[in-house]
Structure 1
Amino acid sequence: MMSYFLALCKSHPGAVLARYRDLRAEGLLCDVFLEVSGKEFPAHKSLLACSSDYFRAMFKDYTRESKASVVRLQAVSATGLQHVLDFIYSSWLSLSLDALEDTLEAASYLQVTEAVALCSQYIVNNLGLENCCFCANVAFKFCLPDAILATDKYLVNNIWKLLEQEVGIMELLELNFKSLLTVVASDDISKVKELSLLRLVVKWVKHEKTRLVYTSRLLEHIRFGLVPLEELRDFYSRPEVLLTGTIKNSIIQAINYHSFAFRQPLVQDKSSTLRNQKPWIMLVGGGTAHEGLVKKVLAFDVYNHKWRATAPLPVKVQNHCICAVGNFLYVLGGETPSPSHDDAKSVAMPVSNAVHRYDPRSDQWMEVMGMLESRAQFSCCAVENSIVAVGGRADAKSFHSSVEIYDLSRNRWAKTRDLPHKMHGHASAVHNNIIYITGGKYMDQVNTSKDVYSFNMLKGDWKKQAPMSIARFGHQMATVKETIFTFLGIYEPFCDIEKFDPLLNQWTRLRPLIFDRFCYGLVVVEETVLLLGGRKWQDAQEVATPNVVGYDTENDYWEDICKLPCPLYGLKSAVLQLSDRATEDEKNLKRV
């Protein structure tokens, strides 16, 4: 048998095109002229047919154009045809924003698919604030899927920048309906107030009369629960566009949502859900060594390690409690400095019964109904649609055994079954809607306690459980899946932690924390428990620490995470869903 092989000459295709260019330049063997607006372009039918399905069909033997020496094209411009012919003869496509539509029009009409793909890639690679709306319109007009995805994503990510510029707003008013609908319907818009989106939709619809038919389809994606109440009422009573019954009903529901503020956590839906929301850890209350107690509130993006400041607390506070319900943050009780002793070094600060609520939608605090008792060093937790405050102290010598429940639907506190003892400095956690409290100090005892009690709200009774192996005071608890963990308290001589199995009523010792700490914040993120800031012993003194450490509950493992912007102690922490804000938050953080 004879052997053989195939050899490839990589330069051959380019050489053939080069020869065609030479023939075209010299006018040799050109068998057709393409005429557009009185201007003729010489070409070779064979190369045109190889590069375009349109020309391939045109130059079949049975067509009139196959025998014509001049073919007139009506649907393309001279500029567009010139660019497409240059591409057919060279594989190079001259692109610019000025000629993009002409080029795409010719390439699409003549079915030069490779040139269309290059135009689409040009749009994807050259998006900017000054051209994104234009590019979105071009992509939509010529049905370029990749370019549509890229431009829509760019618009969603950067609409906040466009809305800050007069030129940007004018560009948005020229945006095609589909792209604007994608933006308004997106869950991922950052740094844009809902009122700004509402105003943009109204301006866009009014910009051209033919757009009025799109009014409802756009407005149904506005989250009216995020629009301020007065603006809602004004828009409903004096609408600038025609509102359908469905849209009117959505606005009325949003007005009712704002009108009964204390019930808002119970009636959350998409119309009041923040866009672009991500989990942030809120650091509330406590203070620093230099400033004493502070009102500032910090938020930490645990996934991107970003910090930002939110609206400050109405009051300075320590030994308080916080909990989150319906993505609202409640701050309860604690010690607040009196006006005459506005610092953290006051020997005895008044104990408060006040309850303040933070709304991340408006970045504002409001005061709701206060507890029936003033409480400090107590515990609280959220169970279903209620907040339960347990024990604590009214002053330096008076402890509580009382337990009270906050009914969010009525904005009212009511007493329930008392604790078995008057106590403070205990901790609590919830598992399967049953409250568990551990440790603390009883009024009639000097030593801290190992006791554990559970409270079933349906039955209304307290039940004693297996005690901890360590007596704890001023400690914290966390529930992760089916397990309850207890962490360090005040003045503990060791750093052991332990976990409790509610089904087996059994405690187990775990890996100790390397460094001691107390008066820290604690949150659970997925299956990791984070301890933020607090105090520790250093050179026989209590010092505030900025360290954030994490405990992997799955692998019983500790690790350093990051540092706070400044050392904080006495803080409380919770996880809230926040939306990215504009740059003033970053400026506020620099002042912290």
Structure 2
Amino acid sequence: MSYFLILSKSHGSRMLSRFQSLREDRRMCDIILEAEGKEFLAHRTLLACSSDYFWSMFQDHTLESGAHTVSLPALTSVGLEQVLDFIYTSWISLSPSTLEDTLEAACYLQITDAVDLCTEYISDSLSLDNCCFFANVAARYGLSEAVADTNRFIARNMSKLLGPNRERSGLLELNIESLQEVLATQEMPGVKETVLLQFALDWLGCNPLPALESNSLLSRVRFSLVPPDELIRLSAQKPALRTPFIHSLVQKALHYHTQGPLQPLVQSVHTSLRATTNRILLVGGGREADRPQTQIQSFDERSRKFHKLSITMPKKLQYQGICVVGNFLFVLGGEVVEVDAENEKTAVMTVSDQVWRYDPRFDRWEEMEPLLQKRAQFSCCVVNGVIYAIGGRGQRGEPALSSVERYDMKAGCWRSGVALPHAVHGQACATIRRGIYISGGIHSNQPESSKELLFLNTHDSDAWERRSAMSIARFGHQMATIKECIYAFLGMYEPFCDIERYDPAQDQWTRLKPLLHDCFCYGLTVTAGGRALMFGGRKWQDGQELCTPDVLEYDPEYDSWKKVCKLPGPLCGTQCAVMTISELIEK
């Protein structure tokens, strides 16, 4: 015998509608609920089915089971009316003025569906004007999801909440649990740590706490991101910063500021910017060859938007080396280009040995210990926190260099490294773990581009080793490491657009799908997803060099190229670095 199990979608709502009609007509009501002197007629059966509180109340053995009127002194009349309307209609009308009364009644009467709707209302209605109020309400009634949502909203919008023209009374009344979570947040765009510290001190001024709780709150401030003179000034003024525990944190921060060259190696959460998304920086470059600019642009891979940084490079450089250590940007050597003010076609190029370090925490440049030799068109890389400057050339017309130097950050100086077997400039460089690979370039003993690949194990080797040569001779090209393989991209004036991949395990090169057109003097970087991005560059068109604004993406999984967006304008000669920066320095 067969049968069908069929659900009626209208039966439940129709039954509730009938109950509501009976309540409105005051028919068959067998209980009166009273709050603040106001009475509400209801039906025991429906109340018991909707609430664990009423289910227990109306059991046969309770006093309330036979009572005609039940008083609920813990509830407001507004809250009780709101909850009864929900029981009878499944609808609830919420506003900031009725939220607390409704939550109090729903929690007291154990009507979880109504509590869930209050949670949803808080999460969906957050604004700058109500977020602190909602955070306090959610914390008071233990609404964990709403608490998490409000805390995230406050952290994400803290720069606006702390704005100079906003009333801070809501923030100063924020509950301590939410404030602690906000101060511990990694993502807080557009907020200077000095402002955050001052706000925490102001909050403590309005909400005095025992030393233990005050220490717990202030320990979430990243004191190393506060300028030292400001730390010293506030410590002298605010007793909360002079407790033994917080004083020790302040002293550690002040010591960090004295570390100088060592700072990139002693990074921690206390020295890290409150940002979780890296930006691709386009350092230098210009609209035409030999005319570099000092601009630095940032690129957001997700939104594909470009921004100019508020700070520029110290000098107009080309063929420089750049690298990132401890979220500091290092700019090494290169050619300083000085254009004649009266005749822009005339420029003087001077090879430099200067080293500059940019700190995005305080948006400033600092000149570091210079290179041992002046270098341009050289290789620059980082292995285990050590910066390597490899080969290159001196002034134009001078022979190439075979020397290698490494920056000892602990000593704050450059030291000689393992020299190359021959002088070379215009080569490309990539690293895998502790190994350095350089390819191509022009050797001092030959006028043409090279196919050679050299390898140095920085851990235990005292000489460069020759590995399988590329299939194409290249100069002025770039390499990138993606998933333990090295990709060699186009160089200067190559008559074809092929790229190739090197597998160190097999010591073998493989030709890949060529680029759509020739390209050189571009910026190149690898995304977190393992794709290569190529920014701008120059190409040949109708017998002339043309600077392009195109941004191309190479997907190694499918061996495919595509154009993803355009730069704000044509750009060539830029170099790429991946860093965490503050939105405060983006225009």
Instruction: Report the TM-score, using the length of structure 2 for normalisation.
Output: 0.92
Counterpart position of 2:478? 476
Q: CA deviation at 1:284?
A: 0.8
- Asked whether the 8 Å contact 2:235–2:241 carries over to 1, the reply is no
SS in 1 for 2:396: coil
Identity, in percent, stands at 47
Mean alpha-carbon deviation: is it higher for 88-97 or for 310-319? Answer: 88-97
1:393 aligns with 2:396: no
SS in 2 for 1:454: strand
**Residues 459 and 237 of structure 1: is their aligned pair in 2 closer, same or farther, counting only changes over 3 Å?**
farther
CA–CA distance in structure 1, aligned partners of residues 371 and 485 of structure 2: 30
1:377 aligns with 2:377: yes
Mean alpha-carbon deviation: is it higher for 295-304 or for 358-367? Answer: 358-367
- Asked whether the 8 Å contact 1:487–1:498 carries over to 2, the reply is yes
- Asked whether the 8 Å contact 2:354–2:370 carries over to 1, the reply is yes
- Asked whether the 8 Å contact 2:340–2:347 carries over to 1, the reply is no
Counterpart position of 2:278? 279
SS in 2 for 1:83: helix
Mean alpha-carbon deviation: is it higher for 483-492 or for 241-250? Answer: 241-250
Q: CA deviation at 1:480?
A: 2.5
**Residues 52 and 478 of structure 1: is their aligned pair in 2 closer, same or farther, counting only changes over 3 Å?**
closer
Letter in 2 for 1:112: I
Counterpart position of 1:109? 108
Counterpart position of 2:509? 507
Give deviations 1:285-323, integer Å, cap 9, x for gaps. Answer: 221139932111011122331222222111111111111
Letter in 2 for 1:569: C
Q: CA deviation at 1:242?
A: 5.4
CA–CA distance in structure 1, aligned partners of residues 119 and 253 of structure 2: 42
SS in 2 for 1:578: coil
Counterpart position of 1:450? 451
SS in 2 for 1:85: helix
Give deviations 1:405-458, integer Å, cap 9, x for gaps. Answer: 211222211223433333322222223423222222233432222333333444
Residue of structure 2 aligned with 1:467, choices 469, 488, 493: 469
Structure 2 matches for 1:183-582, cutoff 5 A? 183-210=182-209, 213-241=212-240, 243-289=242-288, 292-310=291-309, 311-338=311-338, 340=340, 345-399=345-399, 400-457=401-458, 458-525=460-527, 526-579=529-582, 581-582=583-584
Mean alpha-carbon deviation: is it higher for 67-76 or for 284-293? Answer: 284-293
Give deviations 1:159-198, integer Å, cap 9, x for gaps. Answer: 2221215545221111112222221112222222222222
**Residues 201 and 7 of structure 1: is their aligned pair in 2 closer, same or farther, counting only changes over 3 Å?**
same
**Residues 491 and 205 of structure 1: is their aligned pair in 2 closer, same or farther, counting only changes over 3 Å?**
same
CA–CA distance in structure 2, aligned partners of residues 414 and 82 of structure 1: 79
- Asked whether the 8 Å contact 1:292–1:345 carries over to 2, the reply is no
Q: CA deviation at 1:213?
A: 4.8
- Asked whether the 8 Å contact 1:337–1:346 carries over to 2, the reply is no
Mean alpha-carbon deviation: is it higher for 264-273 or for 50-59? Answer: 50-59
Q: CA deviation at 1:267?
A: 0.7
Counterpart position of 2:84? 85
Gapped regions of structure 2 (runs ≥ 5): none
**Residues 534 and 58 of structure 1: is their aligned pair in 2 closer, same or farther, counting only changes over 3 Å?**
same
Q: CA deviation at 1:36?
A: 2.4
Give deviations 1:209-257, integer Å, cap 9, x for gaps. Answer: 2576531222222222222222222333443425543333222222111
**Residues 90 and 440 of structure 1: is their aligned pair in 2 closer, same or farther, counting only changes over 3 Å?**
closer
CA–CA distance in structure 2, aligned partners of residues 497 and 8 of structure 1: 63
Q: CA deviation at 1:4?
A: 8.1
1:178 aligns with 2:181: no
- Asked whether the 8 Å contact 1:337–1:343 carries over to 2, the reply is no
SS in 1 for 2:476: coil
CA–CA distance in structure 1, aligned partners of residues 496 and 29 of structure 2: 93
SS in 2 for 1:461: coil
Mean alpha-carbon deviation: is it higher for 8-17 or for 366-375? Answer: 8-17
Give deviations 1:332-356, integer Å, cap 9, x for gaps. Answer: 1111123756998445411111111
CA–CA distance in structure 1, aligned partners of residues 513 and 184 of structure 2: 47
RMSD of aligned alpha carbons: 2.7
CA–CA distance in structure 2, aligned partners of residues 302 and 18 of structure 1: 53
CA–CA distance in structure 2, aligned partners of residues 412 and 151 of structure 1: 48
**Residues 424 and 10 of structure 1: is their aligned pair in 2 closer, same or farther, counting only changes over 3 Å?**
closer
CA–CA distance in structure 2, aligned partners of residues 70 and 208 of structure 1: 43
Counterpart position of 1:40? 39
SS in 1 for 2:358: strand
Letter in 1 for 2:280: I
CA–CA distance in structure 2, aligned partners of residues 232 and 481 of structure 1: 44
Letter in 2 for 1:181: Q
Mean alpha-carbon deviation: is it higher for 339-348 or for 132-141? Answer: 339-348
CA–CA distance in structure 1, aligned partners of residues 567 and 169 of structure 2: 42
**Residues 358 and 205 of structure 1: is their aligned pair in 2 closer, same or farther, counting only changes over 3 Å?**
same
**Residues 26 and 445 of structure 1: is their aligned pair in 2 closer, same or farther, counting only changes over 3 Å?**
closer
Gapped regions of structure 1 (runs ≥ 5): none
SS in 1 for 2:578: strand
CA–CA distance in structure 1, aligned partners of residues 413 and 344 of structure 2: 31
